[in-house]
A and B are shown apart, each in its own frame.
Chain A
Amino acid sequence: MIENVKELLKAHEGLKHEVYLDLENSSTVPKEVIEAMLPYFSQRAYGNPTLTHKPGWEAFETIMELTQKIAHFLGCKTLEEVNFTPGETEANNLALIGTAFSMKDKGKKLVISEVEPISILHVTELLQKYGFKTTKVPVDKEGFINLEKLGEVVDKETILVSLSAANHEIGTVQPIKEALEIVKDKNSGTIFHTDASDAYGKIPFTVKDLGVDLATVSSYKILGPRGIGALYVRQGVNVERILEGQIGTQKLWPGVENTPLIVGFAKASELAFQNFENNVNHMQKLQDKLLAGIFGRISDVKLNGPKGDRRAPDNANVSFLKCEGEALTIELSLSGVYVSSGSACTRRILQPSHVLVAIGRNFEEAHGSILMKITRYHTEEDINYVLDVIPKAVERIREITGSTGVE
């Protein structure tokens, strides 16, 4: 197997340009972030922050100062509201399972939407085995939650509602504030969680303005290192630990704090927020260019998700009809353009992306879907290159499709 991968990599030799657009699935970490992290592996603050020696106190100082920073970007009231976890998946698990644990006597009902990330979806499935029930609120053709339905399904039994702030696949920016009001109106005791991983650093919000009880943020989604994220837990909200072990500075996550990763996460946050508007404008400009270029050059293309301001500035998700997505990702990779697909062929159980299905895309439309995300580091040249490569790749795969499937 490994030999095969070596050969696959060899096939990529001599690429003259490479553009990484698969930011949904992992990130490229900018130099500034890596440089900020480096000293923390062995030069300073390498101690355990709970211990009584210099490297330990340095670690404590570092973690507290950086927690302060992230708390500020999120708009928290206190430092204690920021709880580091090893990532978005873990923060979502903590939010859902931790709330289910703490609220199990108040009710057994969870409400999510049909377009939540896998780390929400699968956790609710797990909880169903332990007596909890989940209701999924439908979304419209652009991925917006049906607020009326949301109001109908939340009841006295509902202990938690979880709706992501910006959709990870199709970029839909949800009306979280409105949704929250509807939920609290029906049941003021319901805990409201939002996975804000795709909103943090891209869409202006604070947890205070939104009024949410819990919010997930992730480091790699803002070009920080993988392996770190955080769960915001509003003061006064009780979430139980889901793992046990040595508790240090993080009351909700046991184990030794990973100071270099926290440094990287904080640095990435700082870079995303220090020129927030410029960054967003840059992403939006390239997003427009990319989408306009694709629609101008290629026929039979569909945009997945909304247009304009109601779409996250980095997200481009399009379906190329008569063009299977996995084949297309390989073809693009061989030209140095790295993307992912929601095609059933890329999935273990041969079903297309549940998000695309939820917005009413049929199998065929999902079959040729490609997800791309833009960062502030991408350039006009990058997008020009992508726009040069994609039409050729689509044309070649469509040639293989030929008349197959044409009724």
Chain B
Amino acid sequence: MSRMPLPYNPKVLELFRNPKNLGKMEDATVVAVAGNPACGDMITFYLKISDQEVIEKASFESYGCAANIATASIVTEMIKEMKLEDAWKITWKSVAEAVGGLPSIKFHCGILAVGALKRAIRAYCKNKRLSPGWLPEELSFEEKQALEEEELSRILSKRMRTEE
């Protein structure tokens, strides 16, 4: 319940102020969501993927904090023109690094962003009935974390409702 000091770095602030690739994409090939509207933290990724499995465009919407907005924004930049296989290799750590580091309490916001990206890639492959060798069956760390956060918020909001 306590608050924390949040010395966001200039990169995070810049991406927060001028996010790149913000907004819904009408012609997206795949859309993925991570987080839970019940707890607030929530992110949507839109990807346009070519038949050659290259990400042509990426955009996002975020219902989260500045760290979430910044990491999501930079992910959409990082994966542009990337092959799905390479995009899959992006980890939340590399994203956190790309924004110049995150306060530890905000790691989960970056994880959520990457979780949404990996879900999008997985969903695309599933839709296309592809099972490339680089896509493990087991969920990635970020996907698992996103699931965990969603589960936690479901429990919390359920507890709140029953207390009413």
Contacts and interface: CB of A to CB of B under 8 A. Distances in A.
Contacts of B4: 348
Interface of B: 1-4, 6-10, 13, 16-17, 19, 22-24, 33, 37-44, 61-66, 68-69, 105, 108-109, 153, 156-157, 160, 164
Contacts of B157: 362-363
A351 B1 contact: yes
Nearest to A348: B2
A5 B7 contact: yes
Contacts of A360: 164
Contacts of B1: 118, 121, 347-349, 351, 354
B42 A404 contact: yes
Given A8-B13, A400-B69, A344 B40 contact: yes
Interface of A: 1-2, 4-5, 7-8, 11, 118, 121, 322, 324, 326-327, 330, 334, 343-352, 354, 357, 360, 362-364, 366-367, 399-405, 407
Contacts of A349: 1
A143 to B, nearest CB: 14
A405 B63 contact: yes
5 contacts: A118-B2, A334-B17, A351-B156, A367-B63, A404-B63
B61 to A, nearest CB: 4
- In the A-B complex, the 9 residue pairs with the closest CB atoms: A402-B61, A367-B40, A405-B37, A345-B65, A4-B7, A404-B61, A7-B10, A326-B65, A4-B9
Contacts of A352: 40
Given A324-B64, A357-B160, A403-B61, A345 B41 contact: yes
B65 A407 contact: no
Nearest to A323: B63
Contacts of B160: 357, 362-363
A345 B64 CA distance: 7
A3 to B, nearest CB: 8
Contacts of A7: 9-10, 13
A2 B7 contact: yes
Given A350-B41, A400-B61, 17 more contacts: A7-B9, A8-B7, A121-B1, A322-B63, A326-B65, A326-B66, A330-B66, A343-B40, A349-B1, A350-B108, A362-B38, A362-B160, A363-B153, A367-B40, A400-B62, A404-B37, A407-B37
